[in-house]
Amino acid sequence: MICLEMRLNGKNKSFPSKVFSCPSVRKIFASVRPLTEFDSNAIGEHDLHQAEKNILLRRRENNIPNIRNILKRLKLNKTSSEDIDKLKNELLKLPNDTHPRLWTYENRPKETLLCDPTKIGTNYVEFSQVCKFNNMLRMNQLGNYTGQKSYYLFGKLAELEQALIRYTLSVLKQKQFRLLAVPDILPKHIIEGCGMATDGDRNQKLRSTNLRFSLGTSARSKSALAIFTDSRIACNALKSDRVQYIAQIKLLDKATYVYKLDSGDCLSGTSEMSLAGYFSNKLLEENNLPIKVAAVSRCYRAETSGLQEEKGIYRVHQFTKVEMFSICSELESHEMLQHFKDIEIEIFKSLNLHLRLLDMPPTELGASAYEKYDLEAWMPGRQMWGEISSCSNCTDYQAKRLNIKYVTNEGQNKWVNTINGTATAIPRLLIALLESNQKGTNLLVPDVLKDYLNTSVLTKEKSIPEVKLVKQIKSKE
């Protein structure tokens, strides 16, 4: 797990200023105090009306009526601690503002084609068939070992995963990044501060399942297999000592995407959470902004899909990802988002991928994003576009919840802005790469990866380790 950081001298900044939308949500939290400290009398009806319009635009759950009712009760009893706590919780649910250019998008993204898929052709083999022929991937009969929606990569495909990570980091280093490490298990308040829910049952009931860690000898980098005895979903955990640990894990509904331990901690769905948490409760100096970070980590997702087009490793419970993250001022965040987008396009074009850029509508921004781009690659074997990356400008949404500020050269404290983007998400990138770089029966290696793999063609593996069902093994015993 790796993280990179860059600091620029304030005098040499080249990012132009940005115009924000109507600050309907920000005005409610206008001070530089922590988000949970506020004056309920400062929340006016106009602010609530603007915030409600924003909620409806993004098609999120409208909690403004609840806020209005709580404010009415507080006018009668200003010292009601119960209502004050309820108001704090409701205000924390408010989504970020929405960039004005997105107001007319409704629920449709604005598409910019960076290639013409009709000229690519259809004589390409689908990823799973390529891997089956070349003995590179195992997904079947893993339920009793690692759980459903998991996978093993073999030989050159496993090497390709590492090559993609190393190449991506080399690009980021050229952009003047610095290396750090991030954890995969985080306290819930960090994840919630990033705008992700860790509690609730919006669409489905919570499902509890026993989790057993069977850990071997002490070794800092040794991973242990965590076996879910009910749902048979597996994950990796890093431990340093020999222990036996029994825990309850809650698989939250599809809308939350989080695995939560009974301790209250959660498995990180993206290293954006760890990177944002690293800066929590920090007061930075303006001259040290912007700061850019990126981390390589395992990502754990609870969501699944039964769609045929999302079969195989397209949507899995755990995968490796290189994430970019930035701390900057409010005048730099829009241009920093463009910078992240350009890095992603540069990386994927160098891998011979056919891309399209989507400027996402308000309904696709989640809670934290002010504006967001998705990048999709044409997967010719599947004859479909597949999302391989995204980048978001979260303005001061996360900063206010994690208490990240900077002091200006004039001595004024302000909230920072945060930007995040996916530089490389391995499974889908492997699909797009192997389907796009076929020549006859050969799998060609993009030029930028040849030095990492010491080959220009991916060759067939001789064999795959045999996997036997646990029931068969027990019957033989």
> Using CA of residue 29, residue 34, residue 39, residue 40, what is the dihedral sign?
positive
- Per residue in 322-367, pLDDT (tens digit) is 999 999 999 999 999 999 999 999 999 999 999 999 999 999 999 9
- Which of 5-14, 24-33, 164-173 is predicted least confidently? 5-14
Rounded Cα distance, 86 and 71, in Å: 10
389 is in an annotated binding site: yes
Domains and CATH numbers, the chain: 23-95 (no CATH), 110-207+244-458 (3.30.930.10)
Rg (CA), the chain: 24
Annotated binding residue 388: yes
For all residues of the chain together, what is the average pLDDT?
A: 78
**287 appears as a binding residue in the annotation:** no
Asked whether the predicted pLDDT for residue 372 surpasses 50, the reply is yes
Q: Which two tokens stand for residue 243?
A: 């222990």
Between β-strands 355-359 and 244-251, what pairing exists: parallel, antiparallel or unpaired?
unpaired
303 is in an annotated binding site: yes
Tell me if 390 is assigned to a ligand binding site. Answer: yes
Query: Cα separation of 173 and 246, whole Å?
Result: 41
Which residue bears the tokens 């056919």?
354
The residues, any chain, with a CB within 8 Å of residue 7's CB and separated by 6 or more, are 288, 289, 291
Task: For residue 318, say whether it is annotated as part of any ligand binding site.
Answer: yes
**Residues 48-76, mean pLDDT to the nearest whole number:** 92
- pLDDT bin (cut points 50, 70, 90) of residue 422 is very high
At residue 461, the pLDDT reads 74
Q: What is the pTM for the complete model shown?
A: 0.80
Whether 142 shows a pLDDT value over 70: the answer reads: no
Phi-psi region of 141 (alpha: psi -120 to 50; beta: other; left: phi over 0): left
pLDDT above 70 (res 43): yes
Q: Are 355 and 377 in contact (CB under 8 A)?
A: yes
467 pLDDT higher than 60: no
Query: What amino acid occupies position 207?
Result: R
Lowest mean pLDDT among 177-181, 189-193, 214-218, 398-402: 214-218
User: Is 323 annotated for ligand binding?
Assistant: yes
Whether 183 and 3 have beta carbons less than 8 Å apart is answered as no
Tokens of 269: 């769905």
**Which tens digit of pLDDT belongs to each residue from 157-198?**
999 999 999 999 999 999 988 888 899 999 989 999 998 877
Supply the pLDDT for residue 19.
30
- The Cα–Cα gap between 413 and 426 comes to 39
State the Cα–Cα distance between residues 157 and 182, nearest whole angstrom.
25
319 in a known ligand binding site: yes
By CB atoms closer than 10 A (0-12, 13-18, 19+), residue 20 is: middle
Q: Can you give the pLDDT at residue 6?
A: 40
Residue 297 in marked binding region:
no
207 pLDDT tier (thresholds 50, 70, 90): very low
Q: Which amino acid is at 28?
A: I
pLDDT value at residue 446: 96
**Annotated binding-site residue? 325:** no
